[in-house]
Chains A and B, each alone.
Chain A
Amino acid sequence: MNQHFSASVQQVADVRTPVDVVRLTDVRRRFGTTAALDGVSLSVRKGEILGIIGRSGAGKSTLIRCLNGLERPDSGEIFIEGRDIAQLGERELQPLRRRIGMIFQHFNLLSAKTVEDNVALPLKIEGRPKAERLSRAAELLDLVGLSEKAKAYPASLSGGQKQRVGIARALAARPALLLSDEATSALDPETTRSILALLKDINRRLGLTILLITHEMEVIRSIADRVAVIDAGRIVEAGPVWSVFADPKSPITQSLLGGIRPQLPGEIAARLSQSGGREAILRVDVAGEAASRPLLSDLAAAVPGSFRLVHGGIDHVQQQPVASLFLGIPTSADHERRVLDFLRGRGARVEVLGYDAGND
């Protein structure tokens, strides 16, 4: 750890909120006429994993690069460990960047250096003696399960192994924050799972704060504690992952969730009309405590002959049940109202998608 920097952080940390490792206030950055960041405010608490999700071009790369000064904002405040880095010069940023590890989509390992020399590079930059660098590299390669590859060159490694080396390298200088820039986007699903499990494990074991950006909800779902959705340079939605999954407010979030949440099968959706039909199709979203109770059997008891289960599923996000169910209920104004009242009384969100005339 950089002594001089830690000391200066210590002084500032008393006045600023020490629990926020990162705090952004109204950060703006334009490229020509397009606003890559259009007033972004967010904070990352110590020890949490914050996932930022957005489509390509939403501004997430610019955002993550602003956090270690690789990109400079036009305006706004960027506090890292209580210190505003938005206005720092390149030279002042250098010691600060050593407190921030970063992993990349394309790993960015140096091809001319062995695995252990790649991992030890941040320590070499810090000016640590060789013996210390190598013992720390060995320790980290052990952590990521690649001890036997210490003397190998990156070209001989698989994608997943390269990213493990990238993670070891990012941790070498004992950072306070780890930035992950689409770290699993170039990996196959199985390798992605193992890399995400490693990141989660590091987060738990070392209490390391992680900020990751991705375009895949699956990544958010598997490791993030909180999620922020970015679109056109703005944070459109943020909150604990399970609650955003249970009740996505913005169309962007709903569309990003589309791939991993239950959707009404297309052939049924195509048959729906706005009136008539013999069956109303409802979408019932229920999560958390409300989803832990026997909702459907209680509904059957309260409103006899009330429904059939058309489609749906229950997912567990952050140990919280998040259910999306599609029910078909006989069309009758009174019946429909009773079902809706009952479900809403139990804390579910209910939407009448349309009326099914049936396919017979």
Chain B
Amino acid sequence: MTPVMIELLFRSLWETVLMTAASGFVSLVAGLPLGLALVATDRGGIAEQLWLNRVLGAVINGFRSVPFIILLVALIPVTRLIVGTSIGTWAAIVPLSIAATPYYARIAEVSLREVDHGLIEAARAMGGNRWTIVREVLVPEALPGIVAGFTVTLVTLVGASAMAGAIGAGGLGDLAIRYGYQRFETTIMVAVVIVLIILVSGIQWIGDRLVARLDRRT
């Protein structure tokens, strides 16, 4: 591989990491509260609001049904409104975030739902309000699952960001398509795959270590 190729590889890696990290951050910040809202507003939840629960669920399902490549194109006006352009790495972060948020909300919901109802009851019996229950019970008790789910979301985002090449976002996937596939540069293709494997394994390893450290249940 020429130094130019190596530089290209590193720039693509950076773009992928940037897209994954930025949209991952948004999905965490927006998805976790959404997951909490889904659990809290459901029947028997700490803030039961069935109609709100149904609306939230329907909106999340709606976003999750649309294939990412279509979402990417369909969201171009929104992207232009937020970023000012519809092309490039930053422009890709908008649809990636919007796709990852409902995805992560569902994953967080599953972990939060598994928190033993007796613990919520105990916090209520101590005089805790809803916020106390969220802060002291739901989130800390579900944290291993919340972190494990976030790891899954990040890995999914690494894959999804490859498609963002369609709007000129760059990244490793884009590099593999343009050089590896369209120009028959097998070396680049292999290099991209190896870098992706290392990236995904790294994310998974850090996530697993974090979960092991957080999990006090056994």
A interface list, Cβ under 8 A from B: 68, 70, 91, 93-98, 100, 102, 104, 106, 108, 110-113, 121-122, 124-126, 153-155, 169, 173, 179
Other 10 A-B pairs with CB < 8 A, given A110-B122, A110-B136: A68-B125, A70-B121, A98-B126, A104-B118, A108-B119, A111-B141, A124-B136, A154-B216, A169-B126, A179-B125
Tell whether B143 is near chain A: CB-to-CB under 8 Å: yes
Whether the pair B118, A112 counts as a contact (CB closer than 8 A) is: no
Tell whether B137 is near chain A: CB-to-CB under 8 Å: yes
Whether the pair B128, A106 counts as a contact (CB closer than 8 A) is: no
Q: What's the nearest-Cβ distance from chain A to residue B98, in Å?
A: 31
Per DSSP, chain B at the interface is helix
Q: How many A-B residue pairs have CB under 8 A?
A: 68
B interface list, Cβ under 8 A from A: 116, 118-119, 121-129, 132, 136-137, 140-141, 143, 214, 216-218
For this complex, 24 residue pairs linking A to B, each with C-beta atoms less than 8 Å apart, are A70-B121, A70-B124, A70-B125, A91-B129, A93-B127, A94-B127, A96-B127, A97-B127, A98-B126, A100-B125, A104-B122, A108-B121, A110-B122, A110-B136, A111-B217, A112-B141, A112-B214, A113-B136, A113-B140, A124-B136, A125-B123, A125-B132, A153-B216, A155-B217
Q: How far is the CA of A311 from the CA of B128 in the complex (A)?
A: 55
Q: What's the nearest-Cβ distance from chain A to residue B24, in Å?
A: 23
A111 / chain B contacts, CB cutoff of 8 Å: 141, 216-217
B143 / chain A contacts, CB cutoff of 8 Å: 112
B137 / chain A contacts, CB cutoff of 8 Å: 110
Closest 9 CB pairs of A and B: A108-B122, A97-B127, A98-B127, A112-B140, A102-B125, A153-B216, A108-B118, A122-B126, A94-B127
Residue in chain A with minimal CB distance to B122: A108
A124 / chain B contacts, CB cutoff of 8 Å: 136
B136 / chain A contacts, CB cutoff of 8 Å: 110, 113, 121, 124-125
